Structure 1
Amino acid sequence: MRRKQLWIVIAALILLNCLTLIFFLAKVKEISGTAISEEVVASVGKSEITRQQWLNELEVRYGKDVLKDMIDQRVIKEMAAKYNIKVSEKDVEREYRILQTTYSSPGENKKTTEKKWKEHIRNSLLQEEILTRDVKVSEKEMKEYFEENKALFTIPDAYHVSHIIVKSSDEAEKAIKELEQGSSFSALAMERSIEEFSANEGGDIGYLMEGEERFPSEYLQAVKKLKEGAWSDPIQVEQGFAIVKLEGKIKGKKYAYEDVKQQIRREIALEQMKNSTSATTFWEEAKVEWFYGKTSAN
């Protein structure tokens, strides 16, 4: 449960960063002397919406949350330095692998760099380490947790897949001929696929693993036999006929107790804690003052 919460928090942080980028880039342009505030970003009939009106609305709706996130990230770094707390690259890599295969959507994979994902993961793990630094957890408790939750520390093979769905076998065969002649799979998906959501992403449907229920089991059976970059013969599905392409593969891994010992310690410690488990716990210690009030995150 804690892992799932971590991934949701990371996704939210990335969204906030995107809003921050939009807001502050525009502000920089405004300060530089360009008449950016009067630039029209949309029009409805005879009425117009200026960039400044848009920015003001962004600040009203998201400004407090974005600023709080920025403060939290700075506080985490300050406290980590103060208490000499670090997280290992192995921990970051493990969380990133899990995040890649079980949470991130195709669109997020394209828009968010690996470096940015790992930065948010590292900050989240640092926060957990800081919050639990004084909590004692016995070796016995950690080993028992590991034995009872081994499935949590096993990542199965994951296949990055794209697909094209058309209504008839004739259309599917025609699409395959075009692919063989050098047509782009993603371009064909955008143009021909009747599955609108993935078509907008060039056919990208993210990662598939054993037990996947979002897509037909035939997808996984097909991609297991493919080389990276190759596509399948037509597969009959409920909507018509599908062609699947293997974009890439992440090999599964089973982690040993020593690999995940520190993660388990944090998990147990966080469950034991009754007080706040957010970075705002340290705002007063970090002497935070902000636009919405001194050392207050409410």
Structure 2
Amino acid sequence: MKRYEVLKVVVILQAVCMIALTGMVLVKVWPESNTKGDERNDKLDPPRHQEGGKDPHSDGDTWADPERGAEVVATVNGQSITRAQLSEQLYKQYGNNMLRVMMVRLAIDVEVEATKIEVSEEELNRELATTLEGYDSEERFFIVMKEHLGLTKKQVMDEMRYRLLMEKIATRNIPIADDDVERYITSNPEQFEPNLQLHLQWIVTGTKTQAESILDKLQQGEEFADLARNYSQDEFTAEDGGDLGMIEADDPFYNKQMLDTAGEMSIGEIEGPIEVEQGFAIIQLVGRKMNSGLSGTHLFNAVRKKLALEQARPLPELEDELLERYGAVILK
């Protein structure tokens, strides 16, 4: 996911993360799906709130302390909003989605234990390398994940691991012949060629006149990032000085004229105004790099995985099957 797209989902993902951290939702998924009677009910009883209790999935903050729930987290004109009120609203809006995520993860853990499916460090590192293609560096990627999504490096890597495990579960019984892989590679060479990426900043204005005024300020020596923060109408990048991060030179989600112009620019050069969907843009090329395409065994395995996933059942259906297989029960 490119950085520009990441910023668009910040609010939802931050809310989801807060629910997970508050520990409001605790579900157990048991492999003994045929257990009946009182024994089953005892296993699935929800945890009782105890004063000073700890959420076993948290880093140690209290989750059942009445005093903590009454903690005021914001005020407006003398009216208070407590932590408990905030948690309740987050639960109402995002609780069902987060609950499902937690249940599916537990079900995946049980399935992995039963089938001995594994994700190697090499596979995880290759997945990370693919994700990093939209960023300047690994360090920058994890900084963005922390600053905008509140996710630590460990949490990000855990998400990747679960996704890879789910893909392996989905494709483990789907055989793909070597001839099919070779035929796909031969028929789609453009998918595996090296690609150019551009690191851009931009300032978006409503009119061409406004853009030309900002160009005058740049020519007078004012900093591009400062002008973006003060004048850019793109709310997703303005606070970051108009930084769009690394963009593929042929990315269909960005204005073609803008990318074509950027592809001809020197690093540090500024161009504009360029008419875009949001108005008029002034762009600065911060950097560029050429990513090498896959080859050899890595290419062969990547295509085999792609073809298998195309034949696999939709992941939501597979999730439902896992939850049913391991007797998932919602208690609320």
User: Contact 1:168–1:241 at 8 Å: present in 2 too?
Assistant: yes
More deviation, 91-100/63-72: 91-100
SS of the residue aligned with 1:283?
helix
Equivalent position amino acid for 1:205 in 2: L
Moved more, 92-101 or 126-135: 92-101
Q: Does 1:262 align with 2:301?
A: yes
User: 1:48-71: CA deviations, max 9, x gaps?
Assistant: 443212211222332232122123
Consecutive unaligned residues of structure 2, counting only runs of 5 or more, are 25-53, 136-140
Contact 1:155 1:252 in 2 (8 A): yes
* Deviates most, 27-36 or 59-68: 27-36
Alignment correspondent of 2:88: 56
Gaps of 5+ in 1: 294-298
Percent identity between the aligned chains? 21
Distance 1:116 1:241 in 2: 36
Matched, 1:84 2:110: no
Q: Which residue is 2:183 aligned to?
A: 144
Match of 1:124 in 2: 163
Q: Quickly say closer, same or farther: Cα 1:169–1:69, change in 2 above 3 A.
A: same
Are the counterparts in 2 of residues 19 and 66 from structure 1 also a CA contact under 8 Å?
Answer: no
Match of 1:174 among 210, 217, 221: 217
Question: Offset of 1:199 from its aligned partner?
Answer: 1.3
Shift of 1:168: 4.9
Deviation for aligned residue 1:133: 1.7
Residue by residue over 1:34-92, the C-alpha shift from the partner in whole angstroms, topping out at 9 and shown as x without a partner, is 72322344556675443212211222332232122123223323433432323345544
The reply on whether 1:233 has 2:270 as its aligned counterpart is yes
Moved more, 73-82 or 271-280: 271-280
Alignment of 1:18 with 2:17, yes or no, is: yes
Secondary structure of 1:119's aligned partner: helix
Q: Quote the residue 1:35 is aligned against.
A: 67
User: C-alpha separation between the residues in 1 aligned to 2:304 and 2:282?
Assistant: 45
- The letter for the 2-side match of 1:52 is A
Report the TM-score when normalising by structure 2: 0.64
Counterpart position of 2:231: 192
Given that residues 85 and 129 in structure 1 are in contact (C-alpha distance below 8 angstroms), is that contact kept between their aligned partners in structure 2? yes
What TM-score, normalized to structure 1?
A: 0.70
Does the CA-based 8 Å contact 2:16-2:94 persist in structure 1? no
Greater relative contact order (Cα 8 A, min sep 6): structure 1 or 2? Answer: 2
Between 274-283 and 139-148, the greater mean CA deviation after superposition? 274-283
User: Is residue 206 of structure 1 aligned with residue 238 of structure 2?
Assistant: no
Q: Matched residue of 2:270: which SS? A: coil
- Look up the SS of the partner of 1:35 in the other structure: helix
Q: 1:17 to 1:148 in 2, by over 3 A?
A: farther
Give the paired residue count.
Answer: 276
Q: In structure 1, the residue corresponding to 2:246 is in which secondary structure?
A: strand
Q: Once superposed, what is the RMSD of the aligned Cα atoms?
A: 4.2
Deviation at 1:17, TM superposition (A): 4.9
Specify whether residues 243 and 149 from structure 1 end up closer, same or farther in structure 2 by C-alpha distance, changes over 3 A only. closer
Instruction: Check conservation: 1:146, 1:257, Cα contact below 8 A.
Output: no
**Greater mean alpha carbon deviation, residues 198-207 or residues 148-157:** 148-157
Shift of residue 129, structure 1, vs aligned partner: 0.9
1:254 alignment partner, SS class = coil
